[in-house]
Amino acid sequence: MAYNSEQFELQAPKPPQGFLRQVLSKGQSFGFTKANTSIATSLAKETKPSSMKTLERNRDKTMYWNEKTLTCETLSNWSQFYLFIAGMAKTVMLFFLPLFYLLELAALIFGEGGWELRGPFFYDLTLYGLLPCLLIYGHFKLVDRGYLFLAPFLKSKILFELNRQTGMVTLFKKGNRKRFEHPFIEFDCVLISAPSPQGHLNYNLVLIHRYHEYSVGVPLHNFVDTNQTVSEYHRLWNMIQRYMDVSQPMPDIMILEPAREKDPTTVAYDKSTHRDPRYWRDMTDEQFEKEMKQLEEKQRSQPATGPELNIFQK
């Protein structure tokens, strides 16, 4: 059953906390609210108008966030290894190889032995250093330009999914198999902080199921950096609640703009406010960045979330 902030079944009180739950929920609790219009700009500005146009042209590509689901994916271990190797190839090719060539060239000009001594090193450096790096990084650039058939091993795995239409939250495990699935209203949102090696606070925003002592939670913080301000995590939680709440229109952000015309509640709201269906998408990247900065300034003086909801039985 979809989550509706206007009409929901009151939840049972929180059960006594065991050790595992105490460890997982040790942090700042974010309660349920009647979400307002504030958004996490750190998430919203990741998708620019130019990249949105590319996504729209690629009709086979499914948006990670639409009128049905919000899906968080990550690359598989093999894919991450491939990106690491491609990054190393680029670094070696741009920094280390030029240095080695310059050193050998200097030794060739000013040293003894001439080409007979230095020639084999140039040959080996080119054959076993430059050519492999060119092949690896060239392959990466082709894949990056959209030739995905050249890299069938690049696969993603689903971390979790939030479903607006059913109101369910699903966490996945290896092989994209379900680890658990429960209604959205049964989760507690907790902001967990931990110091980084540099002494700064890093944050994790996690959904923890209230009535089961699972060893893991749903990592909402994957949508933003770990060093955002606390108010930005409040706005992220506000966005998530607004998205899951079928009594309210979806958050007004770029990635969701094509899906607005497919959600009944959002369609009715946009008609009543005469919203331009392509408000975000018809901007230039420069206009979009300027709009995001203005929105950030405006939101600093506004509440990050709406009024609190009491979802529990007395």
Q: What are the tens digits of pLDDT across the range 136-180? A: 888 888 877 666 667 777 777 889 999 999 999 999 998 889 999
Residue 127: exposed, middle, or buried by beta-carbon count in 10 A (0-12, 13-18, 19+)? exposed
- In this structure, the strands spanning 168-173 and 177-183 are antiparallel
The structure tokens 């990550």 sit at 74
Q: What is the pLDDT of residue 292?
A: 96
Share of the chain above pLDDT 90, in %: 53
Q: Where are the domains of the chain?
A: 19-76+155-299, 78-150
The model's pLDDT over 251-302, given as tens digits with 9 standing for 90+, comes to: 999 999 999 999 999 999 999 999 999 999 999 999 999 999 999 999 999 9
pLDDT at 197 exceeding the cut of 80: no
Identify the band that residue 100 occupies on the pLDDT scale cut at 50, 70 and 90. confident
pLDDT at 60 exceeding the cut of 60: no
Residues 6+ apart with CB under 8 A from 309: 5, 31, 32, 33, 34
Identify the band that residue 76 occupies on the pLDDT scale cut at 50, 70 and 90. low
The model's pLDDT over 10-29, given as tens digits with 9 standing for 90+, comes to: 999 888 777 666 666 678 99
Q: Which helix (DSSP H) or strand (DSSP E) does residue 191 occupy?
A: strand 187-195
Q: What is the pLDDT of residue 21?
A: 66
Residue 164: exposed, middle, or buried by beta-carbon count in 10 A (0-12, 13-18, 19+)? buried
Residues 6+ apart with CB under 8 A from 166: 1, 2
Instruction: With beta carbons less than 8 A apart as the criterion, state whether 77 and 153 touch.
Output: no
Dist. CA 45–CA 291, nearest whole Å: 10
What are the residues facing 203 on neighbouring strands?
193
Write out the two tokens for 78: 């093999």
In degrees and rounded to multiples of 5, residue 301 shows phi and psi of -100, 10
Dist. CA 61–CA 40, nearest whole Å: 24
Q: What is the pLDDT of residue 146?
A: 61
Residues 6+ apart with CB under 8 A from 216: 171, 179
Q: Which helix (DSSP H) or strand (DSSP E) does residue 128 occupy?
A: none
Write out the two tokens for 124: 């080996």
